[in-house]
Each structure stands twice: as C-alpha cells, then as structure tokens.
Amino acid sequence: MEDFWDIIVWFLVASVKFVIAVTKLLVISSRAWYWDMLIVMAGGTFGVLVFTFLGAAISKKLDKYNFFKMKRSKLRKLIKIKNGYGLIGIAFITPVIISIPVGCIISSAFENDRNRVLRLQISSVLIWSLVLFAAKGLLKIQIVP
C-alpha cells in the first residue's frame, strides 16, 4: 500500500514539475527504470491534458490584461523561442526548463488548435521520459545520491 501512495505522489509531481520527478526517481527509486518511466510519462501526460484545457481558459482571461505584451525578460525569451522555433520549440523546453503548467498555458495562448498543442506537448513529455530513463536503464548508469 505504501508503494501505491509513492506512485501517486510521483505521478502528481510529474504532472506539475516534471524535471523534479525525473531527477528524484532516477536517484532514489528502487523500482525498475521502466516502471519509473511509465509513472513519469503518465503523470506528465495527465498534466499536459489538464493544463492545456485549463490554459486555454486562463489565456483568454489574461488577454484582457495584455499579459503577453509585458516587457519581461523571461517572457521575451519565450516569445523569441516561439517566433524562431514555433510551438515545437516551446514543447521541447516545457518539461525540462519551464514547467508543464507554464508551457501549456503559453502554448494555448499562442495556438488556438488544442489538438496540436496536446500532440506536441505530450510528444515532448514522452520523448524526454524515454531519453532520460533509457539512459539509466539501457546504458546501466548508476546514479549515487
């Protein structure tokens, strides 16, 4: 039963702070790497689904306040990434650099097609999970805390 709650906690952490869940599970988990990978993939996908639909509603509310026209350095960097690499660039950096909620809200603000946002964000979560956990499992990398 304790393992069940541990899985639920890491699932929820992965849905909001993907890189924290990955880092902790890579270091402290005693489960096989592929189980941890599945937990993080499922949690990240759940977060993308929730925050993409929630992000669309939030971005509509923020449009009234011209939030995306503010002159803040981080926001300007994200707009440069969006203009240079499009939604693919935002999706690529979302799980590991910016958090899933922020990335999904920004993507929803820039793109009206939710299916495209979902496809790109979920693909990014799955690819990052596979790369990070496969590096540990297939290459037999031992991470010591």
Question: What is the pLDDT at residue 72?
Answer: 59
Has residue 44 been placed in a domain?
yes
pTM of the prediction?
A: 0.81
Question: What is the pLDDT at residue 68?
Answer: 52
Question: In the chain, pLDDT over 70 holds for what percent of residues?
Answer: 79
Q: How many domains does the chain have?
A: 1
Has residue 83 been placed in a domain?
yes
Q: Write out pLDDT tens, residues 33-62.
A: 889 999 999 999 999 999 998 876 776 776
Has residue 125 been placed in a domain?
yes
Has residue 143 been placed in a domain?
no
Has residue 144 been placed in a domain?
no
Residue 135 CA to its chain's centroid (Å): 19
Question: What is the pLDDT at residue 125?
Answer: 96
Question: What is the pLDDT at residue 116?
Answer: 92
Q: Write out pLDDT tens, residues 10-27.
A: 999 999 999 999 989 988
Q: Is-contact 107 38, C-beta < 8 A?
A: no
Expressed as residue numbers, the domain containing 8 is 2-138
pLDDT at 9 over 70: yes
pLDDT averaged over every residue in the chain: 83
The one-character DSSP state at 112 is S
Q: Which residues contact 11 (CB under 8 A, 6 or more apart)?
A: 39, 42, 43, 46
Q: How far is CA 83 from CA 4, 14, 71, 76, 86, in A?
A: 43, 28, 16, 10, 6
Q: Is-contact 25 7, C-beta < 8 A?
A: no
103 sits in which H/E element: helix 100-110
Residue 97 main-chain phi, psi, to 5 deg: -110, -55
Question: What is the pLDDT at residue 90?
Answer: 87
Has residue 132 been placed in a domain?
yes
Question: What is the pLDDT at residue 126?
Answer: 96
